[in-house]
């Protein structure tokens, strides 16, 4: 099966709402066949309407989770852990409504949680993440959804930074519907060898964010794309490769991702150029 070429709604807007669902048609016109719906809040858009627009455009869907500080499976406060699970439940309802079979994101902790902690605390937080993701996985199975856990760079989390750590987390969770989202932006910072990391993850790779080192259009920067393409083909990856970028006009996400300047002449240019490059690399 061919790798789907996709784009995140975050490239253009935040939050995605009913009025901006027409971006799905724009993505189709630019050559994408997968649209990633960034779900910042439960029911922030009409799930049924999103499903209709996706069908009209002939696009497949992925629902991308957003785990902020108030959705933290590793927090000592049980209310924050429960909030993370409640959010996951709403995201899974969205997945089922739009026909998405993968829910990716850094669901193990709250993004931006980066500290030096003692080994004992690190072990406790890891165990909390394992327990929480196991609970999410059981919920996801009821919706026919696979969770794709995303390692983030050291400036965004202190728990899971590398593919190797992600592999261990998946093993510790021990559920068949839990795999990895590998994001080339984060990998470019944390991995010694992107090709080797993807190969090591192998069948655990359930989703890919194809992002340049500066969040610009894939192919315009320093990521070793030939290695990425070669590794994905060798592991038989048949999911989606989605461009995830952001615009500085979006205050909440721009701050979380440290996006302070544009990465292309326009967001449309970023999308068009990225689609063309990825189609050539992975087609």
Name the residues annotated as catalytic: 150, 244
Using only C-alpha atoms, the chain has a radius of gyration, in whole angstroms, of 17
Tokens linked to 51 = 């499903």
> Shortest CA distance to 135 belongs to which of 187, 82, 188?
82
Q: Strand 178-183 relative to strand 4-8: parallel, antiparallel, unpaired? A: unpaired
In the block, tokens 């990465």 appear at 263
48-72: burial string, b at 16+ Cβ within 10 Å, e else: eebbebbeebebbbbbbbbbbeebb
Which residue(s) pair with 4 in the sheet?
Answer: 240
CB 44 within 8 A of CB 17: yes
Q: In what order do the strands lie in the sheet with 102-105?
A: 60-65, 34-39, 4-8, 240-243, 205-209, 178-183, 146-149, 102-105
């Amino acid at each position: 099966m061919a790798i789907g070429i996709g784009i995140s709604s975050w490239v253009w807007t935040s939050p995605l709402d009913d009025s901006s669902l027409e971006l799905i048609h724009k993505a189709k016109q630019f050559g994408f066949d997968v649209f990633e719906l960034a779900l910042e809040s439960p029911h922030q858009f009409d799930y049924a309407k999103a499903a209709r627009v996706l069908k009209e455009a002939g696009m497949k869907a992925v629902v991308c989770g957003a785990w902020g500080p108030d959705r933290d499976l590793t927090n000592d406060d049980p209310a924050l852990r429960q909030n993370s699970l409640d959010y996951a439940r709403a995201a899974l309802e969205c997945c089922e409504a739009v026909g998405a079979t993968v829910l990716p994101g850094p669901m193990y902790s709250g993004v931006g949680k980066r500290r030096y902690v003692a080994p004992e605390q690190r072990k406790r937080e890891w165990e909390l993440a394992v327990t929480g993701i196991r609970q999410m996985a059981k919920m996801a199975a009821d919706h026919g959804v696979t969770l794709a856990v995303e390692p983030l760079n050291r400036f965004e989390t202190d728990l899971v930074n590398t593919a190797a750590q992600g592999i261990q987390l998946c093993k510790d969770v021990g559920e068949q519907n839990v795999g990895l989202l590998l994001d080339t932006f984060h990998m470019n910072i944390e991995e010694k060898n992107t090709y080797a990391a993807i190969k090591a993850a192998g069948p655990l790779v359930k989703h890919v964010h194809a992002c340049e080192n500066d969040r610009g259009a894939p192919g315009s920067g320093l990521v070793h794309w030939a290695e990425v393409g070669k590794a994905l083909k060798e592991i038989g990856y048949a999911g989606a490769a989605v461009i995830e970028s952001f615009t500085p006009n979006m205050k909440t996400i721009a701050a979380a991702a440290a996006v302070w300047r544009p990465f292309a002449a326009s967001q449309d240019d970023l999308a068009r150029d990225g689609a063309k490059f990825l189609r050539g690399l992975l087609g």
